[in-house]
Structure formats: C-alpha cells, structure tokens
Amino acid sequence: MSHYFAEPSAPEKRRTITARFWDTDWTFTTANEVFSADGLDLGTAVLLRSAPPPAGASRLLDLGCGWGVLAVALASACPGAVVDAVDVNPRALALCADNAAAHGVGDRVNTLTPEGADPSVRYDELWSNPPIRIGKQALHDLLSTWLPRLADDGVARLVVGRNLGADSLQRWLVESGWACARTASAKGFRVFAVARPGVLPGDAPGA
C-alpha cells in the first residue's frame, strides 16, 4: 500500500520531469506522495510503447491517472476525444489537471474521483497501469466496476508486472467472461487488451 497515497500527508513539493514516447518529448509536473513521482514508471512506459493512440475515439478513461501522463497523452493524440482521468488521490488529480492545462488539453480532460464519475458513460478505450498492490480482491472489484463501462466494442489496455500476477489476472479476466489477449511483453511487464467476446481480432480470449 505504500505505493499509493489516497490522502497525502506531507506538504507538497513539486518537480518537473521529462519523458519521450509517441515520437514526442513531454514535460510534466509531479510531486511527492503520488505514484511514480520521480518520472515515468517502467510499466506505463511499456504500455505507451506497445499501444498506439486510439484513432477515432470520442470518450476515453485513464483509470488510476496519477499525475496524468496517460490522460494528457491520449487527449493530445486524440483531438476529438474527452478523457476521464480517475484517481483516489486529490494531489494526483490536481497535478493531472495542471498537466492537462499546460499541454493545452485541459478542456478535454476531466479529473474525477471514482465516486464523481458518471456510471452511465461508456468508454471507447480504458487505459491503466492498475494498482496491483491494493490486493487481489480489491483489484478484481476495481476491474469488475470499470470494465463493464466499456462501450460494446470498447477495449481496455492494461499493463501488469509479470511477477505481480499478470498471468493469473489474465486467467481471472477470461474466467469472468472477458476476452483477454496479451499484446506485448517487455521489461518484466505484460500488456493486455481486454474486451467483450468477439471484439478483439481473432477473438482469442486467452491468447
């Protein structure tokens, strides 16, 4: 649980970090007591390298947005899309909003607590480096809440550490009725595409 901060307790100390992905150099503001405050974490970097921006998307979800790298990247790459950026950490949400504004996409990035998100909204894609260390049951509950909010042909793109139970999570997703294809594996991480049966190419539920 030390990796996640629902309620930061220390005074905020902001810093600037840089990252490169999607053939672009990016600058973001981070702070203490948010996930991966020192820079782009390896898992999210693998996800960004392995998955292209979703062309034609109109509504996207960054689940566990942290300081907003996925939300900002998706909004920047998909000018027709609105991105809901969801996190339990108020400091992370404030940083995400500031980073979105700094990149000129603040009007299309909605920073929300889980309770503040409209449960009727359906997403073309969900992107997440999910909080594995909250525990297996809590993670299953989280995904069981948010995956059904995909559009009928929507896809979730998840990155999970191999040594943190990626393969068992894939099995659970398939057993829960989702198609789940491994789309990349690098640096000790698996990247999964998750969708309703019949949506993924080849409909390979456990490929």
Are the beta carbons of 26 and 73 closer than 8 angstroms? yes
- CA 94, 95, 98, 100 torsion-angle sign: negative
What are the residue ranges spanned by the domains of the chain? 14-203
Q: What is the DSSP letter of 188?
A: T
End-to-end CA distance of the chain: 31
Per-residue pLDDT tens for 113-140?
999 999 999 999 999 999 998 999 999 9
Nearest 5°: CA angle at 130, between 101 and 150?
80
User: pTM of the full predicted structure?
Assistant: 0.93
Distance CA 124, CA 141 (A): 21
Distance CA 150, CA 178 (A): 12
- Please list, in sequence order, all residues whose beta carbon lies within 8 angstroms of the beta carbon of residue 43, skipping any fewer than 6 positions away: 129, 159, 160, 161, 189
- CA 180, 147, 135, 13 torsion-angle sign: positive
Q: Please identify which residue in the block is written with the tokens 């905020």.
A: 12
One digit per residue, pLDDT tens: the chain, 207 residues?
Answer: 334 567 788 999 999 999 999 999 999 999 999 999 999 999 999 999 999 999 999 999 999 999 999 999 999 999 999 999 999 999 999 999 999 999 999 999 999 999 999 999 999 999 999 999 899 999 999 999 999 999 999 999 999 999 999 999 999 999 999 999 999 999 999 999 999 999 997 654 444
Domain 14-203 falls in which CATH fold? Rossmann fold (3.40.50)
